[in-house]
Structure 1
Amino acid sequence: MCGGRGTRLGSETEKPLYPIAGTPMVDRVVAALAGSRVETVYAAVSPHAPETREHLSNAAIEGKPLSLVQTPGDGYVADLQAALATVDTPVLTVAADLPLLAPVLVDRVLDRFAAGEGHSLTVVVPAELKRALGASCDTEFDGYAPTGVNVVADSDSETMYTSYDARLAVNVNRQSDADLAEELCD
């Protein structure tokens, strides 16, 4: 998912293209997906991120196809629904603002989904972990915060997977989050 405006970040650069340690966040996410067991990578772009669309249309992922999916730019949920209408499920969804995502984390989520009897999977972290790291926490429910990583399946049932990995706790929504990601980047 890489079509948002990124207004909270307060940058002239489109949010997916915002660099962390010199590399655009979307490239970091694509690299994590490319290094994982994910077979095909789809980038959901919108009219709000034309430079991201152009950047990704020229991207090459070693050994895996990258396909662009156009969404209307009507917000995360509407764009997610538009993207899901064009791909087969189950599908792993990842926000482009997770610059610390790593292949091992993606594979861990896929393993957890495989063990979940086909239920959709929402990956969360303890909100306290986000606060301890100094990461922003805009959405919290019952002490947990969504990570921006999910697996959407055909099932109406949903399972929550709690990760305690700090790399999933840093979504770059504000400049302070970008600074934190820079500090934690290897």
Structure 2
Amino acid sequence: MCGGRGTRLDRGEKPLVEVGGVPMVERVRRVLAASRVERVYAVTAPHAPRTAGLLDCPRIEAPGEGYVPDLQHALADDRVAEPVLTVAADVPLLTPGTVDRALDAAEGATTVAVPVGRKRALGVTVDTAFRAGGRLLAPSGLNVVGDGEGLAVATDRGLAVNVNRRRDLRRARWLAGAPAASD
């Protein structure tokens, strides 16, 4: 999912914002290529033409109406069959191991969430939170879409750091250079 406008970042096309000298969307693409994921499609949008031009994988052009409508558009494409792993381009610290662990934990449709306390400990913002099993959780930007409804909770910093604001970007850039001792 890489059609973000990046309005809260004020840096142009969000997927092209660099962390560690590499556009976030390219960082995610490389991680997916090194994971057990078999096929990668980039869901782009009309307001992210430079992102679409950068990508070296098949693309599905969505209307650019937001994450959920664009995801629904992508899932309606004949090339994509459920279950499907969805990953937002704004999780630049994702690792192949994190992706593989999420796939292992998935049972049908699975929302992968991170404890809000973990996000706060890493110094990143929390835009959305929900309670499940007595825990306050935040969506991670990685999900499995399919039959059923499941929840997997992870503490990997690669899932905890979504770049939505300038503060998140500064933190992601700093963390990109720091060892991942806690993962």
TM-score by length of 1: 0.90
Secondary structure of 2:110's counterpart equals strand
Which residue number corresponds to residue 85 of structure 2? 92
Which of 128, 148, 154 is the equivalent residue of 1:163? Answer: 154
1:93-172 equivalences under 5 Å are 93-113=86-106, 116=107, 119-142=108-131, 143-153=136-146, 155=147, 157-172=148-163
> What corresponds to 1:19 in structure 2?
18
Runs of 4 or more off by more than 2 Å in structure 1? none
Please report how far the alpha carbon of residue 164 of structure 1 lies from its aligned counterpart in structure 2 after TM superposition. Answer: 1.1
Alignment partner of 2:97: what SS?
Answer: helix
| 1:136 shift after superposition | 0.8
What percent of counterpart residues are identical? 54
Aligned to 1:62: none
CA distance in 2 between counterparts of 1:67 and 1:90 reads: 18
Deviations 1:2-53 (A, max 9, x none): 0011111111x31000000100000000000000011110000000101101
Letter of the 2:9 counterpart: L
Residue pairs, 1:24-43, within 5 angstroms: 24-43=23-42
Specify the alignment match of 1:80 in structure 2. Answer: 71
1:44 aligns with 2:43: yes
Unaligned runs of 5+ in 2: 178-183
